[in-house]
Chain A
Amino acid sequence: MDARKAKQTFGILLVLSLSLTTIVALYMCTQLPYSMLSTSIMLSIWVGAFVLFVASFSLKFNLAELPIPIGKAPLAVGSWLRRTGSRVSADGESIVVRGDSFFSVRLTFRPTQVGTCVRAQAWASSAGWSVTMISLFIWYFSIAAAVATSHIFLGSMRYAVGSLLPGLKRIGTDSLAGREVDIHSALLEGLSEARRLASEAYEGTRSNYEDAMLLAIVGGIVVFMISLAGAKLGYADILLEPVSVGDAMAVSFLAALGFTVAALWFVRRRYTAILLRLKDWMLDLDVAFQMEMSGIAPVDSQRSTIETMADAWKELPSWLSARRKSSAYREPGTWILILSLLSACWYPIMLGVMMLSQGSVNGVFALACGSALVGAAAYVYVRWKRSSDSEDSRTKREWSERSKMIDDLFRRQLMGP
């Protein structure tokens, strides 16, 4: 299927989704009472949006045919994309090229008689996935999900055909060979990859920073509620006189404000330096890449390109760690489980406190249940943290081994075996 056919197929899919939406809506309207009309319509729209979502991100079309064997194609395409400054992530069998902040293109490879067929698939960036999936799961926003899916699909196709196809056609046919080009290409590829990793580390850290700010605010709300409950229940016993609602709220508000301000200050202090450093790195690598691309040598006061690359390579373990921590925050299984356990523990704990304050021994059981849930959440978190930490130390060990390997290889190259 070529790009034109892919667009046509998408059009057909859109019509089919709308038809399906109408059929489901009509069916539900006849089966469900009139009072549930809006629910029926919303559910129908959701079904249509879901079908569109699944179909759009499953569709693949043939983009180009390369005269090189399939074993070399992903590497050749990845190298070419990096040299052109595209943001590329590769897993060996497929390559994801970022188009803009919302959409990407996923390239897969299939052997043919003359070489390799490059196939394109609509893909989203992290922001694109978040918007599409969140709006799909909150079913009131199904229309937004359908619009976002259409935007991503059409943007991906436009980018694949308009920007990737002309360059892909030249791979394997150009005569860019020779040592000079090899060095230049290797510099460009290294800088491009380092720039991508730095950007992803920045985005991941920024996202963690925003999550931490949000947690600080949520923490403030929790402190407010606990202080309010404490002021009404506890202080009344100590002071032997009832505390007015106004006083309790004022005290709780001050406690919550103090907590939130302190937590925000701590979060800001912890992240600002890291974010600034990553931003500097992104800028340095961007400047180095642009200069290398234009063939401009660094001036005497600047680091040489190879030093920039070597310095970036030393930063890689921390960048990879930052990226992993950020994606771990979005590990749906683990984090949904933790959040579910924490939200489930709230009720038995409150119930236990209330029962105990009324002198009921059953409160102990409720408290035990709540504590068990908190313990389970803590256990899942600790397990995740340990696995993340061990992955971090493994990465650091691997990078240190590679660093030593390059050092040995270079010394052997310079001094002989």
Chain B
Amino acid sequence: MVDSSPPERPDLYVVARMLERLWRENGPMLKTRLQTACNVNYDVFRKYLAWMLSKGLVSVQNCEDGHERVSLTPKGEESYRKLVQWISEVIQDRMPGQ
């Protein structure tokens, strides 16, 4: 299980990157595979994963093969969708979230 202390003020870039990788995967993703895909070191990855778990953005499943897999929860997907939408709106010179 993940047992690292979560970051006090998480970098939203890292969170967004993790959300995007999971969204693209369209299903559970091996923890080590997610860490490599997000291009962060293991300590940072564990902290962010713990934080995202505590916020209900992702869930971790222990699979029969002994590996842990991470998947996006509906809240995680919704958060990612909103972030993409806001950034896209700002680029198109519209106020975000309106």
Contacts and interface: CB of A to CB of B under 8 A. Distances in A.
A414 B57 CA distance: 8
Interface stretch (A179-187, A239-247, A262-270): A179-187
B20 A402 contact: no
Interface string B45-62: 000000000010100000
Contact of B39 (A186, A301, A403): A301
Nearest to B57: A414
**What range describes how many residues of B lie at the interface?**
20 to 34
A297 B26 CA distance: 12
Contact of A189 (B81, B82, B83, B88): B88
Contacts of B80: 183, 306
A114 interface: no
A212 interface: no
B79 A183 contact: no
A406 B88 contact: no
B97 to A, nearest CB: 5
B84 A306 contact: yes
Contacts of A348: none
Interface in B68-98: 77-88, 90-92, 95-97
Most buried by B among A300, A407, A414: A414
Contacts of A186: 81, 84-85, 88
A300 B40 CA distance: 11
Interface in A253-302: 297, 300-301
A200 interface: no
A414 B56 CA distance: 9
A304 B39 CA distance: 10
B17 A304 contact: yes
A316 B93 CA distance: 10
B91 A194 contact: yes
Nearest to B81: A183
Contact of A300 (B36, B81, B82, B87): B36
A402 B90 contact: yes
A406 B81 contact: no
Contacts of A402: 90, 95-96
Contact of B90 (A297, A305, A313): A313
A309 interface: yes
A197 B17 CA distance: 24
A411 interface: yes
B91 A309 contact: yes
Interface SS majority for chain B: helix
A307 interface: yes
**What range describes how many residues of A lie at the interface?**
35 or more
Given A183-B23, A306-B84, A414-B55, A193 B92 contact: yes
B15 to A, nearest CB: 7
Nearest to B14: A307
A297 B97 CA distance: 26
A175 to B, nearest CB: 19
B96 to A, nearest CB: 5
Contacts of B57: 414
Contacts of A182: 81, 85
A183 B12 CA distance: 18
B87 A409 contact: no
A316 B91 contact: yes
A32 interface: no
B43 to A, nearest CB: 18
Given A297-B24, A406-B83, A414-B57, 16 more contacts: A82-B92, A179-B78, A182-B81, A182-B85, A183-B84, A189-B88, A190-B91, A190-B92, A194-B91, A306-B19, A313-B91, A402-B95, A403-B90, A405-B95, A406-B86, A410-B82
Task: Give the 8 A-B CB pairs with smallest separation, nearest first.
Answer: A190-B88, A186-B88, A304-B20, A297-B24, A186-B84, A186-B85, A190-B91, A193-B91
Interface of B: 12-13, 15-17, 19-21, 23-24, 36-37, 39, 55, 57, 77-88, 90-92, 95-97
19 contacts: A183-B23, A183-B80, A183-B81, A189-B92, A193-B91, A304-B17, A306-B19, A306-B80, A306-B83, A307-B13, A310-B16, A312-B91, A313-B90, A402-B90, A405-B95, A406-B90, A410-B79, A411-B12, A413-B82
